[in-house]
Amino acid sequence: MYPSDLKYAKEHEWVRVDGDTATIGISDFAQDQLGEVVYVDLPSEGDEATAGDSFGEIESVKSVSELFAPVSGEIVKVNDALDDAPETVNEDPYGEGWMIVVKLSDPSQLDELMDSSAYEAFVAEEA
């Protein structure tokens, strides 16, 4: 349920590192808590993400949650496909449901994140 090649934040975002870039999405636990995702409001390419700050919003029919950046850096790719198919976040949270790709400005921030077993324990406590 929580792939071991990813890093996780307390706000339930995941990070997949590939060289100096990081792909960001939300965890399976987060999508399940939200229910059916109907809208994802994402930033534009070229915007800056700052670790701990909001980079967008995600909505179900009757809730709205902020998306927090786990790491800082310039946003180099945005998953525009979520505009037409926001439910992809529910169906494939670690794959096609990704949200943004960031060019890491401070790779040391990755050390602050949890690995999959730590995140699993964190989620078990929250639930």
Partner 1 sequence: MSGTKGVSLGDPRPAEVGRLIFERSTACARCTEMPPLDVPEIDLDAALAQRSRRDAPLLPEVTEVDLARHYEHLASVNFGVDSGFYPLGSCTMKYNPKVDEVACRMPGFAGVHPYQPLSTVQGLLELMHGLQEALGEISGLPHVSLQPAAGAHGEFTGLMCIRAYHEANGDARRRVLIPDSAHGTNPATVAMCGYEVTTIPSDERGGVDLDALEAALDTDVAALMLTNPNTLGLFDENIERITAFVHGVGALAYCDGANLNAILGKARPGDMGFDVMHINLHKTFGTPHGGGGPGAGPVAVTEKVAPFLPGPVVVLSPEGFRLVAPERSIGRVRSFYGNVGVLVRAYAYIRAVGGEGLRAVAEQAVLSANYLKERLKGAYDLPYDRPCMHEFVLSGRRQKRENGVRTLDLAKRLLDYGVHPPTIYFPLIVEEAIMIEPTETEGVETLDAFADAMLAIAEEAARDPEALHAAPRSTPVRRLDEARAVKDPQLRYAPPCLD
Partner 2 sequence: MRFIPVTPAQQAEMLRAVGVSTIDDLFDVIPEAVRLRRPLSLPDGLSELELIRDLQALAAKDLDSSRVVSLLGAGCYDHFIPSIVDAVVSKPEFFTAYTPYQPEISQGTLQAIFEYQSMICQLTGMDVSNASMYDGATAMAEAAYLAASVTKRRKVVVADTVHPEWLETLRTYSLAGTLEIATAASRGGVVDAESLAESVADAAAVIVADPNFFGNLEDLTAIGGIAKSGGALLVVAVNPMLAGVLAPPSEYGADVVVGEGQPLGNAMSFGGPGFGFFACKSDYLRRMPGRIVGRTVDVDGRPAFVLTMQTREQHIRREKATSNICSNQALCALAASVHLASLGPAGLAEVGRACVAKAHYLRDALVETGRFSPAFPDAPFAHEFALAYVGNAREMQEAMLERGFLAGLELSRFSPELSGIVLFAVTEKRTRGELDRFVEEVASL
Among partner 1, partner 2, none, what does residue 115 contact (CB within 5–8 Å per kind)?
A: none
Neighbours of 105 (CB within 10 A): 15
Neighbours of 120 (CB within 10 A): 16
Q: In the complex with partner 1, which residue's Cβ is closer, 39 or 76?
A: 39
| Backbone φ and ψ of 85, nearest 5° | -135, 65
Q: Is 39 in the site for partner 2 (CB under 8 A)?
A: yes
Q: Is 61 in the site for partner 2 (CB under 8 A)?
A: yes
Q: In the complex with partner 1, which residue's Cβ is closer, 36 or 53?
A: 36
Strand partners, 49: 73
Restricting to residues 4-63, which ones interact with partner 1 according to CB under 8 A? 36, 38-39, 59-61
Among partner 2, partner 1, none, what does residue 64 contact (CB within 5–8 Å per kind)?
A: partner 2
CB 1 within 8 A of CB 28: yes
